[in-house]
Amino acid sequence: MTQPDTSTHQYDAAAQRSLRRVTIASVAVALTLVVAKLGAWWLSGSLSLLSSMADSFMDVLVSLVNFAAIRYALKPADSDHRFGHNSIEDIAGLVQFSFIVLTSAFIIFHSAERLINPQPIEHSDWAIGVMIFSLCATTCLVLYQRRVLRKTGSVVIAADALHYLGDVLTNASIILTLILIQFFDLEWLDPALAIGIALLIGYHAIEIGTRAYNNLMDKEMSDEDKQAIIAVIEAQQGIKGYHALKTRMSGNKPFIQLHVDLPGQSSLHDTHALTDKLEKALLAAYPGADVIIHQDPV
């Protein structure tokens, strides 16, 4: 039986290890924060902490989805999925989009309720301490995710990093609010900041959802990417022209397909050498891409 080609699988071994580690770190951080915030909310009765705890619980669910998606996406192509399993990243990106939007709506609802019915906060020192710990842990996680994202460009990690960046802003606003409430009558500040942050998170979530949706719908790569691809093609000597250029993304894996015009009198060996050179040039520009080149004699 013919074996599937796994030579263009998107991630190398180092990138695969990084993706697995960062998803495990996300789950560990989220679980720790749920427990810590649950205790602080129980002591203080702070609605901000309750909202933050619910958000962290959502993080656990999202991180588990990410962990499953990354493990599946890293599987090499097989006889049933000859183009690989990268599309699962886009599906997970849409799932994350839904979670983030729901979380934003949850924060806005509770913040509006608190604007109307402000409540005193007890044991604010404990609450502040837990939120400082949450801020530090989440900041470290986001920095780690950004480092992995620069190496892999994973849609899932991009969405997760965005969500946790929103958590950093939320944690900082809660800390500031709890401190101000201790000394000033500014109960309205907490829900006002939370609403602004939730709207910002929702706006960026739309960008993540749009990217994942476009990938699943096989939308062409960006104009900048297509111009870069065209530049690579036109730089190749011996190729008289090209047409029927098609591109798309699956997760973070590019797919490039085109027809090239080659001298009709050239031998099979020469035409193969020309197309092989073009394929290598495209792979140098887009590592891990799936490149299909059809030869047309002219």
Identify the CATH number of the domain in which residue 250 sits: 3.30.70.1350
Whose structure tokens read 């690579």? 232
User: DSSP assignment, residue 2?
Assistant: P
Residues 31-82: tens digit of each pLDDT: 999 899 888 888 887 777 777 777 777 777 777 776 777 677 777 777 787 7
Looking at the structure, do residues 210 and 248 belong to the same domain, yes or no?
A: no
Residues 235-254: tens digit of each pLDDT: 999 899 999 999 999 877 89
pLDDT in tens, the chain (298 residues): 333 433 334 556 777 788 878 888 888 888 999 899 888 888 887 777 777 777 777 777 777 776 777 677 777 777 787 777 778 878 888 887 888 888 788 888 888 887 888 777 777 788 889 999 999 999 999 999 998 888 877 777 887 788 788 888 878 878 888 888 778 877 777 777 778 877 877 887 888 889 889 888 889 999 999 999 999 999 999 899 999 999 999 877 899 999 999 988 888 888 899 999 999 999 999 988 999 999 998 8
**Range(s) of the domain holding residue 263:** 223-297
Looking at the structure, do residues 32 and 156 belong to the same domain, yes or no?
A: yes
Residue 3: per-residue pLDDT:
38
Looking at the structure, do residues 142 and 67 belong to the same domain, yes or no?
A: yes
Total domains in the chain come to 2
Q: Decide if 213 contacts 249 (C-beta within 8 A).
A: no
Q: Decide if 259 contacts 294 (C-beta within 8 A).
A: yes
Looking at the structure, do residues 93 and 187 belong to the same domain, yes or no?
A: yes
Looking at the structure, do residues 257 and 283 belong to the same domain, yes or no?
A: yes
Determine the Cα–Cα distance for residues 70 and 30; give it in Å rounded to an integer.
17
Q: Decide if 242 contacts 233 (C-beta within 8 A).
A: yes
Looking at the structure, do residues 265 and 137 belong to the same domain, yes or no?
A: no
Looking at the structure, do residues 172 and 251 belong to the same domain, yes or no?
A: no
Asked if residue 256 belongs to a domain, the reply is yes
Whose structure tokens read 């029927």? 244
Looking at the structure, do residues 228 and 194 belong to the same domain, yes or no?
A: no
Looking at the structure, do residues 180 and 244 belong to the same domain, yes or no?
A: no
Whose structure tokens read 């837990």? 130
Looking at the structure, do residues 261 and 165 belong to the same domain, yes or no?
A: no
Looking at the structure, do residues 158 and 259 belong to the same domain, yes or no?
A: no
Q: Decide if 33 contacts 138 (C-beta within 8 A).
A: yes
Looking at the structure, do residues 179 and 35 belong to the same domain, yes or no?
A: yes
